[in-house]
Structure 1
Amino acid sequence: MTRPWSASGKRAGDHAGSVRVPSPDVGFWVTKAASTALGEAVSDFSIRVMPPVLAVLLGFVCFVGALTWQLRRRRYVPATYWLAVAMVGVFGTMAADVVHVVLGLPYAVSASLYGVVLAGVFLAWWRVEGDLSVHAVTTTRRELFYWAAVVSTFALGTALGDLTAVGLGLGYLPSIGLFAVAIVVPVVGYRLLRWNGVFAFWFAYVLTRPVGASVADWLGKPVTEGGVGVGSGWVSLGFAVVMIVLVALMPRAPRTAEGTVSPTR
């Protein structure tokens, strides 16, 4: 899903400057999927080895720290960007779990709530910038909207995964299959049905979260709960190594809004 048209009908490349987020190529989607599984596993592991309140506070501090570092870079740097995504994955999982566990809201309600939040972020982003394309994220304000959307998608995706696996009783493995099939829909829509590229991108972005989270839960949860029983700690370590390798293999030169690369400073 590269070089999508903006909803305004202009090419995303009409904006000048370095793009601060990665282009959605194959490497992006693989790393994104790994980050969702990592976030789910780390969240589960942290609340098991420390008091839940402390785990949430620590997750929030790490999330704010990583995001601040990313915003200060003012350009796309793979290691910084994907660290921020990983921290969003951890804190986004915790945010979704807090709504269900602490407030006692059913998964269907929490998923609907985060869906409304995401829609609100997109509406505000569109009204202010007129373009939701990742290729147009070249300013701090646009990047703030981008990260607000990312956080919302992680929380929404977590709630959707919990809804199917636990709320509807499908289990983790069937949930993996369900969302793996669902994620083909925006791909087919974009490639064959000429869906708007921005819409297809965010559609797929939301669905990668429940896929990765379901994989992490399936691997980490005990056999008695429908999992394999590997343990959330080992799953966290495994996906952390996968992400480190994937990020290490990524090119370092940042892209400009015109789609070219500029020298790394």
Structure 2
Amino acid sequence: MLNKVPEVTIYFWIIKVLCTTVGETAADFLNQNLGLGLTGTSLVMSVLLIIALYVQFRSPRYSPGVYWIAVVLISIVGTLITDNLTDNLGVSLEVTTGVFAVALAATFAAWYARERTLSIHTIYTPRREAFYWLAILFTFALGTAAGDLAAERLNLGYWPSALIFGGLIAIVAAAHFALHAGAVLTFWIAYVLTRPLGASLGDYLSQSPDDGGLGLGTVATSGLFLVTILAFVIYLTRTRRDATPAGTSA
């Protein structure tokens, strides 16, 4: 098989943030506007995610449409996992943040122990792909918990929170490009941080002005970002600008 995930380009990070924003606003829309509740929304989205991952695993190579559909769905499910633990089961955000951080670290440890690499440029076996998607799920759950912890405890507001997380990502990028910090480490740190960044942007756009947002609503915000994601996916499908061959070094 060829490499099953995209090259890390500017397109990758833009779409990743867009998917994260959709994960936040779509989860709110399904839960509140359609009245499915957290449990019902979680079941529906989990089934759709399983179907998307089945198609992804069956594909012999990276396909932008299949891949990014899976990311959108795993973003929603990761958000819902944290929301269920905190809202339905009463688990504190401090605990969920710690648990998901440990779960992500354990996934990386098991991945490296079995494969001797965490490079996303070598995802061309089913086992490596399974580790990859499990890590992705935990990054979204961890990002949700950590972002909510910062927002609820510090009460910073949506736009200031987005600026803070954007600044942290810029520091990680500078560490990689200027200080030559490890590509694998900086990639995964940035990947976790993009979740609260996208969620803060989504909340800022969708929530009412009384709550510190612009009042676009979850429908308009989700639709806007989904259309933008679709445009990028069509472009990448046609140009293959983000496809990489198997075996490229990290």
The TM-score normalised by the length of structure 2 is 0.93
- Whole-Å separation in 2 of the counterparts to 1:74 and 1:146: 16
Amino acid at match of 1:256: P
Q: Deviations for 1:84-112, whole angstroms, at most 9, x for unmatched residues?
A: 00000111111111111112122222111
Secondary structure in structure 2 of the residue aligned to 1:31: helix
Q: CA deviation at 1:234?
A: 1.1
Q: Secondary structure of 2:110's match? A: helix
Residue in structure 2 matched with residue 256 of structure 1 by the alignment = 245
RMSD over aligned Cα, in angstroms?
1.3
Q: How does 1:18-29 map to 2 (within 5 A)?
A: 18-29=2-13
Question: Which residue number corresponds to residue 43 of structure 1?
Answer: 27
1:145 counterpart letter in structure 2: F
Q: Greater helix share, 1 or 2?
A: 2
Which of the numbers 59, 82, 93 marks the counterpart of 1:107?
93
Deviations 1:165-200 (A, max 9, x none): 223211211110110000012211111111111101
1:243 aligns with 2:229: yes
Distance, in Å, in 2 between the alignment partners of 1:104 and 1:229 is 29
Residue number in structure 2 paired with 1:13: none
The match for 2:204 is 218
Q: Work out which of the residue numbers 126, 139, 145 in structure 1 matches 2:131.
A: 145
Which AA in structure 1 matches 2:72? A
In the alignment, residue 36 of structure 2 is paired with which amino acid? P
Offset at 1:258?
4.5
Per the alignment, residue 175 of structure 1 pairs with 161
Number of matched pairs: 243
Report the alpha carbon displacement of residue 230 of structure 1 after superposing the two structures with TM. 1.2
State the alpha-carbon separation in 1 of the partners of residues 210 and 45 from structure 2.
28
State the AA in 2 paired with 1:133: S
Q: Distance in 2 between matches of 1:224 and 1:121?
A: 41
Distance 2:214 2:92 in 1: 26
What amino acid is the match of 1:126? Answer: Y
Q: Distance in 2 between matches of 1:64 and 1:225?
A: 35
- The TM-score normalised by the length of structure 1 is 0.88
Counterpart for residue 165 of structure 1: 151
Give me the whole-angstrom Cα distance separating, in 1, the residues matched to 2:214 and 2:149: 20
Query: Does the Cα contact within 8 Å between 2:161 and 2:200 map onto a contact in 1?
Result: yes
